[in-house]
Amino acid sequence: VFGAIRDGNLVALDAKTGAHLWHFPTGANIAASPISYAIDGKQYVAIAAGNTVYAFTLPDRQR
């Protein structure tokens, strides 16, 4: 689960436990929710903060 905090942090939480997995400080206010999308089977998450768009490649799921 991904969320954005107005103070500029993008956070990732475990969907089952709610545990904090990681965060990224953008250094700017975030006014919109992050988006998740896939291209060629690879998962990404993106967020707009200030006048910058940040995009992250998500790791492959471990099976």
Q: How far apart are CA 6 and CA 31, in angstroms?
A: 6
Specify which residues 21 forms β-bridges with: none
- Tell me what the pLDDT averaged over the chain comes to: 90
pLDDT at 61: 65
- CB under 8 Å to 46, separation ≥6 — which residues? 34, 35, 37, 53, 54, 55, 56
Structure letter (DSSP) for residue 42: E
Domain layout of the chain by residue ranges: 2-57
Give the SS3 label for residue 60: coil
pLDDT(63) > 80: no
The pTM of this model reads 0.78
User: Using alpha carbons only, how large is the chain's radius of gyration in Å?
Assistant: 12
